[in-house]
Structure 1
């Protein structure tokens, strides 16, 4: 028996911008971060939730190459990496991960059939989620209906889209306690890439969110405020998935 339906939001982008000191811009390969999608997805499927994938224009999503590094992303745990890769392959074959629903194809009436929404990270959301009016419409539905909303790493950047939704009153999550990929963590990536990258933490703070950061968050602690659960990085993926399922069950 299906426990409910979850909408999973992904980016169409396969890269993100790095702004160089000489005023040029490079495109760096990205996509969704493997474990940030797979670990919560496992929790949802184990709890018998059906999932539907959606993206701005329905393009097949890319996997962030760094997130498939056995040594860097999985600390040598080949078994876990293989498990998560197999799950993604299965979702491409048996679900609609290979061809997500375009945002505009999901009507307001259909949104009523979903119990929650989840947005994983990877740098790709910086490219096409933060200013998407259709995503803003979708997220405002879950916000206004107080339906569980889970976000991790760069995923919270998508919340900015609520500013651009039709007839939007502005950023919907002003005053919310949120955790995301921090500016300090991004600065390390900037050093590696040799340029500046749009920031999640400070941008959300500038819109009125209360950003919760610190050692606990960097080590996998999650932040819960009203209908939203958020996490900073891949270390939070397991806890985020568990909390999201508990929140979903609590609303049914």
Structure 2
């Protein structure tokens, strides 16, 4: 039987004073390319329904054939998402959870109580918890049964401060992801060069389940490969 993976998108679509945002196209397109023939995928977002696609990512990756094919053929995936709260009773159906990045998750999923509860439940059941780029922000406020951070002492990665500076959005962020991941985990790591592929696999604190994180858009496909590898 093929594994079943819950993919979570942001519902946050506009940064005040900055403009449209959302989930980042290649961070869903490339994992989908890796996963869709080998796993059953269910897509959810905090609000359900249409999850906002960051238009900047459409423009930036218009020459990527995987991204363009996904954009042209899979629109229903992000326009008809399940409501995240409805997933709480369905955790046993899934083998892993994966959070797509983009700037949107920084504003809604970091503190979303439903998302936090989902992640904590997946971790307690030793199901892989995974995310890419800004997606690892979802782990910052998660706890184990003892009240300790799920990622304390775990090696993690995510969008670096230098990469945020490069896209000129540092001032618009509620916090700097690299800084917070380092503060909470104590073991943030990144690629030798900005925009390089970096995927890290470690154990969650207190449960010993697997946490997989990827640094940036270039790392998205490799995160999906790591998920399949862990699921066997």
If the length of structure 1 is used for normalisation, what is the TM-score? 0.81
After superposing the two structures, state which structure 1 stretch, 5-14 or 58-67, moved more. Answer: 58-67
DSSP-derived class of the 2:36 partner: helix
| Structure 2, unaligned runs of 5 or more | 204-209
DSSP-derived class of the 2:167 partner: helix
Runs of 4+ in 1 over 3 A off after TM superposition: 193-196
| Structure 1, unaligned runs of 5 or more | 18-25
Which residue pairs with 2:66 in the alignment?
A: 80
DSSP-derived class of the 2:93 partner: coil
* Deviation of 1:168 (Å): 7.6
Which residue pairs with 1:22 in the alignment?
A: none
* Deviation of 1:86 (Å): 2.6
User: Which one of the candidate residues 213, 217, 220 is aligned to 2:197?
Assistant: 220
Contact kept, 8 Å, 2:170 with 2:176, in 1: the verdict is no
Structure exhibiting the larger radius of gyration computed from Cα positions: 1
**Structure 2 residue 154 is the aligned partner of structure 1 residue 176:** yes
Which residue pairs with 2:2 in the alignment?
A: 3
* Deviation of 1:196 (Å): 4.1
Task: String of CA shifts for 1:142-195, please: whole Å, max 9, x gaps.
Answer: 2112212221100001112425x9x881421111111100011111223xx583
Contact kept, 8 Å, 1:217 with 1:232, in 2: the verdict is no
Which residue pairs with 2:86 in the alignment?
A: 105
If the length of structure 2 is used for normalisation, what is the TM-score? 0.87
* Deviation of 1:201 (Å): 1.1
Which residue pairs with 1:37 in the alignment?
A: 28
Change (3 A) 1:168 1:134: farther
Rounded to whole Å, the distance in 2 between the matches of 1:235 and 1:205 is 21
* Deviation of 1:132 (Å): 1.0
Alignment length, in residue pairs? 225
* Deviation of 1:121 (Å): 0.8
